[in-house]
Amino acid sequence: MISVRAATAADLDALARIESESLSGTWSRDALADELEKTFARLRVAERERTVCAFVHCWLVADEVHVLNVATDAAFRRRGIARALLESLLEEVKAKGFACALLEVRASNAPAIELYRSLGFRDDTIRARYYSDGEDALLMSLRW
């Protein structure tokens, strides 16, 4: 059984570990701690048997939700956990009156792109050489 809840300072070690393993450490533990203090930032975690196994990180900007990171511990991938996290987030922000969700994803990240499309996200454009290694980003949006 997966439960989704707001992240707390007690989750920072797990978030930093998952971030480092999944996303090449783009966000440090200290940076994630700073995000917990920002009124416009949201970090949600998925737990299974009291173990943090995934997280979603977003910013609430005007009437838009900017999804910055979705990361799942390698041992828990392909089990619907990221989907559960995103569905929970999207339900929450829709209920609060936000107009859309936006994200960018590595053009080579086929599993993530497939997930986002299955949730209703649409391809908007390509941002050429967006990432530090020169890879393109696919910008996607979901409007309701």
Which one from 116, 130, 131, 135 is the annotated catalytic residue?
116
104 is a catalytic site residue: yes
DSSP helix/strand/coil, 31: helix
- The Cα–Cα gap between 52 and 123 comes to 30
- Where do the DSSP E strands lie in the chain? 2-6, 41-48, 51-61, 64-72, 100-106, 122-127, 137-143
What value does the CA radius of gyration of the chain take, rounded to a whole number of Å? 14
130 is a catalytic site residue: no
Which one from 49, 91, 92, 104 is the annotated catalytic residue?
104
The Cβ of residue 59 has, within 10 Å, a number of other Cβ atoms equal to: 15
**Which sequence positions are flagged as catalytic?**
104, 116
